[in-house]
Amino acid sequence: MTNHPATPHLDQIKTPADLHGLSDADLTRVANDLRTETITAVSRTGGHLGAGLGVVELTVAIHAVFDTPRDKLVWDVSHQCYPHKILTGRRDLMPTLRKKDGISGFTKRSESPYDPFGAAHSSTSISAALGFAVARDLGGVPDTGAGDAIAVIGDGALSGGMAYEAMNNAGHLGKRLIVILNDNEMSIAPPTGAMSAYLSRLYAGAPFQELKAAAKGAVSLLPPPFQEGARRAKELIKSATVGGTLFEELGFSYVGPIDGHDMEQLMSVLRTVKARADGPILIHAITKKGKGYAHAEGRADRGHASAPFDVTTGNQRKAPSNAPSYTKTFAQALIREAEGDDKIVAVTAAMPDGTGLDLFAERFPKRCFDVGIAEQHAVTFCAGMAAGGLKPFCALYSTFLQRGYDQVVHDVAIQRLPVRFAIDRAGLVGADGATHAGSYDIGFLANLPGFVVMAAADEAELVHMVATAAAHDEGPIAFRFPRGEGVGVDMPERGVPLEIGRARMISEGNKVALLSFGTRLSEVQKAAEALAAKGITPTIVDARFAKPLDEEMILQLAAHHEALITIEEGAIGGFGSHVAQLLAENAVFDRGLKYRSMVLPDVFIDQASPADMYAVAAMNAEHIEARVLDVLGVATLGQRAGT
């Protein structure tokens, strides 16, 4: 492990109030230490690196000028909040970042009064900050007091529709509200879309212009040293036909662009804004993702997320993988299908690497669409393409699909449009914690009329499900698969479409049937091995479909076993509930079947490794084994024998 580099200036800062009154030069020294400390911390735990490094000066300046936690600082997505955590009393806890029982990788209300609003999904900060501003003006007094409301939002997050809904509302209400646009010209991947191009035009080719846009209306908001320059700039642009900025049209005063790494500029602009703002104001700060750490700056994603790494070499310490990841398997299978069918197109919402669609885009650049952080649009865009005769695959993480739910119902399901949903990161995902868990998609999709809902039990099954989705033109279809590596099964040459609504018998046994939906199948098989040693041979079935259910098979299992247990990587109200409904309606319980369902517990599970999270959820092999013993009454007997 590397020695802890000295950080004498940061060491003086115990709370943000200690920054008040420091000179700009001293604040710069603190910022330099804070950058070092952030790099050291993330090198040991892994996590989001590039975004935090990009806002080090901004973080120091905001805390130096504003009075947190009375003033409410709301970080958008909040993956950039590590420097903020270090400054707000959590420095000593950084070694526990994103670990079981440790601190979260995002802001979290329950963790600190300095985190007034939790986040992890993007584009929510302006809405939340506006809520704080209105609450303040209407007499709401939270425990920490009521002060200014400040949202910090990235240019990537500004591709999400909610940010505009919030600005539209804020411009109309006219309340004092401070939005800082942290523009690093990066999302995870390079940002896409017209808005990104617009932001670039605001400062393209010109030196930092606190001047230009300020010249168009916000001169009085600038500190005096900038005002002269702004007047000059005004003269310069008089002849040019530059309209008001989009932000001004929305009712915001616009200040910028400013250099988000220049402490003097930051401090003078923030001080002046604090002293004079009387309505919504947007400060446009230009920053560099990964700033100050060459190994992050040099990476294609600017060090967006990292495993633990060696600070000197930048080399990440990742365990070698044994089997292909589900994500890559999906991408390769989709490419193979698309080679034979030119109607197949694919859509990602700002996650080309995360969904594997970067590979698809390399092969079919015209048939792949990165729409930005815009899941709602992604879903309806796919619905339109499906109505227009294409075969769209909408590739989203389970957790982010949540944002497009009304679009799934209203635009896709009701119109029975054949949109294919490839749902990655299904189930518990690990270090990102509860905000990123893919817990609900089975429940919220399987209750929609006409939807087909599948879960892959292993990577070979995933290949068949991609083929099934490609072939299914009758209506919407979804298949879910987890984060991480497959189990190492033999892979088929090509995917073969599955018969819709047919389960797969894995092994026939007696007394108890284990009906698995998704990748818990391997845990079920491990449990079965342990049970075999105890003389119990369960029947094992891979359900493949939560909708439509293989009713015939399930009723057969119920008829020929004493007990039936379902297991799925999803919350209550999913596969198991549909099975229970089927059994109830067919009077199976009247005849005495012992039925149990293993679902995620009815709590939000904090971050840990996926295996640890499944342990908390009691869904690993040992728990399945215990459940079988319990339902058959064996555990009780065993305990009695032992006492």
Ligand X SMILES: Cc1ncc(C[n+]2csc(CCOP(=O)(O)OP(=O)(O)O)c2C)c(N)n1
CB nearer ligand X, residue 396 or residue 617: 396
- Kindly state the smallest distance separating residue 628's Cβ from ligand X, in Å: 39
Facing residues of 344 across strands? 391
From the list 28, 36, 104, 122, which residue makes contact with ligand X (rule: CB under 6 A)? 122
CB nearer ligand X, residue 10 or residue 181: 181
Distance between CA 31 and CA 22 in Å, rounded? 12
Q: Which stretch binds ligand X (CB under 6 A): 30-38, 77-85, 196-204, 489-497?
A: 77-85
CB nearer ligand X, residue 369 or residue 614: 369
Task: Given the residues 29, 85, 90, 289, select the one marked as catalytic.
Answer: 289
- Kindly state the smallest distance separating residue 49's Cβ from ligand X, in Å: 10
Distance between CA 38 and CA 567 in Å, rounded? 41
Distance between CA 18 and CA 15 in Å, rounded? 6
Q: Please report whether residue 408 would count as binding ligand X according to CB under 6 A.
A: no
Catalytic (active site) residue 289: yes
Facing residues of 455 across strands? 480
Instruction: Mark 233-272 with x for binding to ligand X (rule: CB under 6 A) and - for no binding.
Output: ----------------------------------------
Distance between CA 405 and CA 422 in Å, rounded? 14
CB nearer ligand X, residue 29 or residue 48: 48
**Pair 455, 546: CB distance under 8 Å:** yes
Distance between CA 179 and CA 167 in Å, rounded? 9
Size of the site for ligand X (CB under 6 A): 23
* Terminal-residue alpha carbon distance, the chain: 49
Report DSSP state, residue 590.
G
- Kindly state the smallest distance separating residue 79's Cβ from ligand X, in Å: 5
- Which position has the token pair 């896709």? 412
- Which position has the token pair 């080679």? 339
Q: Please report whether residue 386 would count as binding ligand X according to CB under 6 A.
A: no
CB nearer ligand X, residue 75 or residue 326: 75
Catalytic (active site) residue 57: no
CB nearer ligand X, residue 76 or residue 458: 76
From the list 403, 420, 480, 547, which residue makes contact with ligand X (rule: CB under 6 A)? 403
Angle subtended by helix axes 161-173 and 125-137, to nearest 10: 20
- Kindly state the smallest distance separating residue 434's Cβ from ligand X, in Å: 14
Q: Where does residue 550 fall: left (phi above 0), alpha (psi -120 to 50 degrees), or beta otherwise? A: beta
- Which position has the token pair 């299914």? 472
Q: Please report whether residue 121 would count as binding ligand X according to CB under 6 A.
A: yes
Q: Which stretch binds ligand X (CB under 6 A): 74-82, 144-152, 233-241, 552-560?
A: 74-82
Q: Which stretch binds ligand X (CB under 6 A): 31-39, 60-68, 72-80, 214-222?
A: 72-80
From the list 10, 56, 77, 151, which residue makes contact with ligand X (rule: CB under 6 A)? 77
Distance between CA 116 and CA 133 in Å, rounded? 13
- Kindly state the smallest distance separating residue 349's Cβ from ligand X, in Å: 6
Beta strands in 402-471 (DSSP E): 420-424, 452-455
Report DSSP state, residue 563.
E
Catalytic (active site) residue 328: no
CB atoms within 10 A of CB 198: 12
User: Per CB under 6 A, which of residues 147..206 are in contact with ligand X?
Assistant: 154-157, 184, 186-188
CB nearer ligand X, residue 290 or residue 486: 290
What's phi and psi for 215, nearest 5 deg? -60, -20
- Output the CA–CA distances (angstroms, integers) from residue 549 to 383, 452, 567, 584, in the order listed: 25, 9, 14, 14
- Kindly state the smallest distance separating residue 153's Cβ from ligand X, in Å: 7
CB nearer ligand X, residue 289 or residue 547: 289
Q: Please report whether residue 86 would count as binding ligand X according to CB under 6 A.
A: no
User: Per CB under 6 A, which of residues 355..384 are in contact with ligand X?
Assistant: 373, 375
- Output the CA–CA distances (angstroms, integers) from residue 436 to 145, 182, 402, 580, in the order listed: 30, 23, 11, 28
Q: Give the number of C-alpha atoms closer than 13 A to the C-alpha of residue 377, restricted to the C-beta side.
A: 14
Distance between CA 329 and CA 335 in Å, rounded? 10
Q: Please report whether residue 118 would count as binding ligand X according to CB under 6 A.
A: no
Q: Which residues are catalytic?
A: 289, 375, 403
Footprint of ligand X on this chain (CB under 6 A)?
Answer: 51, 54, 77, 79-80, 121-122, 154-157, 184, 186-188, 289, 349-351, 373, 375, 400, 403
